[in-house]
Structures are given as C-alpha cells and as structure tokens.
Structure 1
Amino acid sequence: MKTSALLLSPSPSELDLLAMAGAGSGLVEAALRCTSPEQLFDLLEKGRSDLILCGCGEQGPEALSWLKTLAKRESWREIPVVVFAAEDRLETRIAALELGACEVLSFTTPEPEIAARLRRRLQQREELRRLKKSREDLARVALTDGLTGLCNRAFFDASLESEAARSARTGAPYSLLLVDVDHFKWVNDTYGHQLGDTVLQAIARVLRQAARKSDMAFRYGGEEFALLLPDTDVPKAQVLAARIHHEIADLATAYKHFRQPLTVSIGISCCSGEKEVEPALIIEQADCALYAAKRKGRNRTEIFHFGHPDPRLSAAEAPSDLRM
C-alpha cells in the first residue's frame, strides 16, 4: 500500500522543501499540497492520509491552532504530524509538541535522520492500526456466538436494556421475538450434535436474512433465538414472524428425511412505548407466548399483549380477545 502524505504550508518554496523531505526518506510515494488548514481538512474528508508534514516558516505558535481541530476527530488524530520549524523558533517548536505533533524537525536536519524519524512514526501508526483491529476483533468475538455468528446472549441483554431505555425516552414501540426450534432434542438424539449444529447454523442464516437492517438477531441459548425489533408494533412483528415461518418451511425441504418436520415456534411481546417496562418482564412475556405456541401444537406464533391487567398471565391462559 502506498504511503500518502499531506503537505501544509502557505509558502510554495516551503512546500517544495516538504516534498523533498518526504521523497528523500524513500517512504512517501504520494503527496498532496495544501496552502491552508481548510484545504487540509477538505482533503482529509475526501480520503485517507498516512502522514502530515507541516512547515511553519517564520510563523509563530498561532499558526498551529489547526492541530486542535485535528485532535477532535478520532480518525484524524491518529495521523502522525511532523512539523518543520527553524531551530531558533523554540516557542513554535514547543507549541507544536503540546498541540499534538509527534515530531518537530527543521529543514537542516540531516536527511537520514528525517527518514529514520518518519519511518518510526509510520511504523507506530501501523502498530496502532493493528492493535485497534485486534481490539475490535476481540470485542466482536466477545459479543458473537461462535457457532451461528449471531450476536450472543450478553449482547442481547445489553441491547434490550438500551432499547427499553430508548423506548421510554422517545415513546417508540419495539417488539421482541423468541424463536425456538421444535423437537430439536430429537434431532440431536437421532442424528447427532454435528447435524444439530448444522441445523442451528441454517436457521441463524434464515433469521439474519429475514430481519431488517434495523433489527438484531441473537442466539439466546441452546436452540432458542431472539430478534429485537426497534420501532415495531405487533402487526409488523407478525409480518416478520410469518416470513420466518415461510422461510423455515423452504429450509425444511433440505431436511425432509426427518421424521419430524423442521419447524419453529415463535413468541412475541411488544412494548408500546407509552410507559417504561423492565427488560426482564418483556422477556418473560415473550417466553410465555413462546410456550403457548408450543402447547398449541408448535410451528406457530403466539403474542402476549402488555395491556392485560395481570402481567403474569401467559398467552395460553389469556382470554381469546387478548390473543392473536
């Protein structure tokens, strides 16, 4: 990958010196010239840069105030900034370091030393990139179910709590679907856990594809999955549940040799957003609806309505006018 640099100075002759410093190091393969901080920021908005070389000339510390703006953007403040200032401009050189420049050199600095310092700063930048990627990978692993690739239970708990708080603040509804694979123990006992894992992976793909971009799919535990649907009322949640049943039916053709057809049962709970509801209660209600679907023969969806006066009443036990 080419090392790209931005050169900043109001002086054309100083820009030439910056270009020579970058080229002389043998590291900078592409450089763009900027005569003002505004032009520099515009170029940063448009594309990636590995290094910024700035010449101060006879300017004082006030000419480096743009470094404060650079530090406010996470993606920008990681870019190494090397300032070139005359050795007798001590105040400017100190200000450059205090404002975030990683190196302060002068145009009289020997070329091998400039090359060595630029090389080290670019190496540090690459090390930081690798470290950041490693941290992101670790965070993704910590929040991802290793078998299905869906978000895991820990991330589900945090996401549901966040969505409940958002709903209470904005008044927007949201729905929770709990999806359980029917007769999954029979699949494991009859065909082994390896095929059982394959079935779970296939169902996870169905859920991921059926969900909207704003929805989140999780492996809740074992053969149970969860879908968190922001800004979604009961009718919209039903539409998604019906789509899941339809796509699982298509998937089941690949497992038509099973004595028990491959199906799922779904329980839905919905918070209207009119009042704050504890996440644990939302899970409990969806769980009640899920087990109602199981008791009614599986391969179906049941809905729990929060409007019922007894929040512990399951969908199976509720009056018919409270069920769908």
Structure 2
Amino acid sequence: MCEQQDSKPSSSSSPAWDEPVIPRTLVVEDDPDQRELICDAMLMYFQDRPGSKVVGVATGSECLAQDLNGFDAILLDYQLPDVSGLDLLNQILAVRDIPVIFVTGNNSSATAAEAIRRGAQDYVVKLGDYLFALPVVVEKNIRQYRLKRENARLQAELRASVEQIRIKNAQLEESLRRLQEMADTDHLTALANRRAFSETLDRYFHEATRYDFDLSCAMCDLDDYKPLNDSLGHLVGDKILVAAADVIRSTLRSSDTAARYGGDEFVLLLPHTPIEMAINVAERIRRQLTAATQAHTKCAKGVTISIGISSLMCDRPSSADALVSMADRALYVAKDRGKNCIVTFGEIGAVSQSHCP
C-alpha cells in the first residue's frame, strides 16, 4: 500500500461543483509499479493544491477496508487478485455513491460499455501517455459528479417546492370553495341565498330556453309566520325556518335548487319539470311541513305554507325574472284564497288554477 498526502487536511464539507478540485483519490491497482506511477502522476498534477491526497492499495479487500467517505474518486483496475473489477465496482457503489474510473489495459469496447452500464463514471485504457491525461480525467469526472449531485439537490428542492405549491394551492382552493359556499349559503337554513339563487336562475333559464326543456319555479311563504315568531320567540322562529328548509331539501332532487328568498319566504327552481310535476312536489312540501313543525308550535296543526308556481312552457315568461315574478303573483293569489294553498300562474290573463286542501 502506498499513501501520500499533502500536509494540509482536506475539508469534510461537500464543495460546490465549480470550486477548485482538490482530489482525495484511492488507487486500486495490483501491479506495484503501475500503482506507484499513477500515484505519482496524481500528486505531481495536484501538487499546488493543498489538501490533495492519494492512497494506493493492491486488492479489493484492502479497498473496502478504507473509509470510502474520505475519497472523492476511485481509480480501479479491471482485474485484481481477489475480485474482478466489475464485482468490486458493485460493492463500492453499494457502500457509497462515488466516481469510479476504470484504469486498465483491457481496451475492449464491450468491456468498457459494461463497466459504464454497471455505474463506472469513466474508462481509461493504459496506452501511450495515459498518465499525463489521467489527472485531467479525474478532475473532469469529479466536477461532473459534483454537478450531478448539485442537479439532484436542485431537483429535490424543486420537487419539494412544487409539492408545497400544490399543497398551498389545494388549501387555497379549499379556502376559496368555503368562502364561496359561505357567500352563496344562507347561514341559518344552509340553503342557497338570494344572490346565489339569482345566478342559478339566469343559468337555468338560459339552458331551458336554449335546449327547449321546461323549467318550473315555486315561491313558498310560511303562513302567519310573524305572529308565531313574535309569540313563540325568535329562537323557535328560527327552528321553524330550519325545519321548513329541511323539508324542502329532502323533497327536491340534486338537480333542483332551493333558496331562502328572504324572511320566511323560499323559492324553488325545478329544471326539466313540467307544471304538473311541480304541483306534486309543492304538495309534498305542504303536507310534510305541517308534521315537521308541530313540535315547535306545540299545535296539532303545525305551520302551513302557501305556494305559487310558474312554468316556462305553460306561462312563456320573457325573462328569468319574469318567471319568478309570475310565481310570486301566484303566491299572492294563494294567500288571498285562504293560505295553506298551491296556486299556478296560468296563462297571462287567464284565471289562476288553485290547489287547496
């Protein structure tokens, strides 16, 4: 074994890829003359760089006995007394990722290709003045290795940054979704609020007129809610509104929209729903609401509801707002006819049809 080292100790920290190369080289060569020549060539080339180091060993076992973390590159012969160069290469790389450069008299291109495929960083043939080129090859490969490590570090940081951005974006999207939901939802009943209803109304009306399908609208108003709210208290009044919203929600399809229009008034949009089906939906709501609110009013009758209905196909409104206005006018007729009643708008100028118990 030969070992030669500059008097100045080398730094243990990982240098940047563009910093000067001060190599700590392990030479694995069984021929003592060749080993000495390689060690001398390395030391002569790097003699003006304090901290350079060259250690020479003759066998694979001596190589693996070294602390491989103390070297920047390994020069490896292809044939060794106790192990083949390719097998030793596998063992070295299993211990540490380090530039391994084959320095051998075997000039077979197939052998060189197999060495590179196995993980060798370079392959130098012992021909001509190879000793003059060898330190330059070592320096180049150490720089390439540093650059590879730097690229891997930057890629890892980039992946981590992208993942952080993805997480932040997901959190932002969720926050925006919650904010949008809060902006679109009535805080008491969890139904859509009037602003969200207006947006849905415009979209549904546009789709219905464009694709020629029916769209029904139902305006619902709790009967005598204000006296109940005043006599039973606002807490009970809120419970009645929540109960009414629950009944409406449970009656509708996922494609339907229900909103709290204001106070004790609710509005429903029923796409692909002719007037007859809308009446059936309204009737279920009317009947179920009475049972659902009996506990709150402490009265067998419970709370009743009046409903006015309009339909795109039946009433031919000129706009989305006109569809709602027609349902609202029908609701007023239902109130005038004694409440707890369902009234359809009918054609303009025609007598409204009522559906009372």
Q: TM-score, normalised on structure 2? A: 0.55
Gaps of 5+ in 1: 1-23, 25-105, 311-317
Gaps of 5+ in 2: 1-96, 98-146
Aligned amino acid, residue 186 of structure 1: P
Structure 1: distance between partners of 2:282 and 2:241: 17
Tell whether the 8 Å contact from 2:292 to 2:302 is kept in structure 1 after alignment: no
Q: CA deviation at 1:323?
A: 4.8
Structure 1: distance between partners of 2:237 and 2:202: 31
Instruction: Please name the residue that 2:351 is paired with.
Output: 319
User: Alignment partner for residue 280 of structure 1, among 321, 326, 351?
Assistant: 321
Aligned pairs for 1:134-283 (under 5 A) are 134-258=175-299, 261-272=302-313, 277-283=318-324
Structure 2: distance between partners of 1:257 and 1:274: 40
Following TM superposition, the consecutive aligned residue runs of length 4 or more in structure 1 with deviations greater than 6 angstroms are none
Cα 1:119–1:288 change in 2 (3 A) is same
Q: CA deviation at 1:268?
A: 0.5
> 1 or 2 for the larger relative contact order (CA 8 Å, sep ≥6)?
1
Structure 1: distance between partners of 2:317 and 2:230: 43
Aligned amino acid, residue 139 of structure 1: Q
Look up the SS of the partner of 1:272 in the other structure.
helix
Instruction: Please name the residue that 2:332 is paired with.
Output: 291
**1:217-273 alpha-carbon deviations (Å, 9 max, x no partner):** 111111000110001111100110111012112213323524973111111111108
RMSD over equivalenced CA pairs, Å: 2.3
Q: CA deviation at 1:280?
A: 2.0
Cα 1:168–1:144 change in 2 (3 A) is same
Cα 1:168–1:273 change in 2 (3 A) is farther
Cα 1:151–1:202 change in 2 (3 A) is same
Aligned amino acid, residue 266 of structure 1: I
Look up the SS of the partner of 1:141 in the other structure.
helix
Q: CA deviation at 1:201?
A: 0.9
Aligned amino acid, residue 318 of structure 2: V
Matched length:
210
Cα 1:261–1:274 change in 2 (3 A) is closer
Q: CA deviation at 1:297?
A: 1.4
Tell whether the 8 Å contact from 1:174 to 1:271 is kept in structure 2 after alignment: yes
Structure 1: distance between partners of 2:309 and 2:315: 18
Structure 2: distance between partners of 1:259 and 1:323: 25
**1:262-304 alpha-carbon deviations (Å, 9 max, x no partner):** 1111111111089562122212211111111111111111111
Tell whether the 8 Å contact from 1:174 to 1:228 is kept in structure 2 after alignment: yes
Structure 2: distance between partners of 1:184 and 1:275: 32
**1:297-321 alpha-carbon deviations (Å, 9 max, x no partner):** 111111111x23x3xxxxxxx536x
Tell whether the 8 Å contact from 1:175 to 1:233 is kept in structure 2 after alignment: yes
Structure 2: distance between partners of 1:302 and 1:294: 9
Structure 2: distance between partners of 1:283 and 1:253: 30
Instruction: Please name the residue that 1:124 is paired with.
Output: 165
Instruction: Please name the residue that 2:123 is paired with.
Output: none
**1:146-196 alpha-carbon deviations (Å, 9 max, x no partner):** 111001101111111112211211111110011111111012111111211
Cα 1:159–1:113 change in 2 (3 A) is closer
Cα 1:242–1:275 change in 2 (3 A) is closer
Bigger Rg, which one: 2
Taking only the aligned residue pairs, the percentage that are identical comes to 33
Instruction: Please name the residue that 2:344 is paired with.
Output: 303
Q: TM-score, normalised on structure 1? A: 0.60
Tell whether the 8 Å contact from 2:342 to 2:354 is kept in structure 1 after alignment: no
Structure 2: distance between partners of 1:108 and 1:256: 75
Tell whether the 8 Å contact from 2:229 to 2:237 is kept in structure 1 after alignment: yes
Cα 1:188–1:256 change in 2 (3 A) is closer
Structure 1: distance between partners of 2:305 and 2:329: 15
When structure 1 is superposed on structure 2, of 232-241 and 163-172 the one drifting more is 163-172
Look up the SS of the partner of 1:206 in the other structure.
helix
